[in-house]
Amino acid sequence: MSTLIINNRQYKGKLDKRAVLKTVCAGFQETTEPTVCLSEDMETNECLKNNGGCWPDKKANITACKDTFRGMVCECPLVEGVQFKGDGYSNCEAAGPGRCKINNRGYKMHRTKLHSLQTSRKTVEEQEIG
């Protein structure tokens, strides 16, 4: 009879690969499990249905839903080096200096467009003064 000890628990009898791997995956703290534990044949991705109930940004195609072996957690994401801040359920906002590059939040402009805008404003100001 085969015996295996994982996380101080003893398993005896027929040990198939999937059962052993699931037991190993269950020993990881949520959000720290290796990607093999998140494969389709190991668990169900709860984030696929309605973003798991977490905050979504449909325009940028990002969500706060993070799949885990035991289920999912709502955690504001890190996208393109920009950390989102919020509760993960109803809101997440891009924070920090790189926030403007996410989803063209109204801040991002090409340098030429920004220069043209500044030049136009200057011209209007000069006309108002002169």
Which H or E element spans position 5?
strand 3-6
**Structure confidence at residue 116 (pLDDT):** 39
Alpha carbon distance 17, 128 (integer Å): 78
Local mean pLDDT, 10-residue blocks, the chain (130 residues): 78 79 85 90 90 93 92 93 94 85 50 41 45
Distance in angstroms (rounded) separating the CA atoms of residues 24 and 30:
13
Residue 92: what pLDDT? Answer: 95
Task: Report the distance separating Cα 125 and Cα 128, nearest Å.
Answer: 5
Q: What is the pLDDT of residue 8?
A: 79
Q: Give me the pLDDT at residue 55, please.
A: 97
pLDDT attached to residue 62? 92
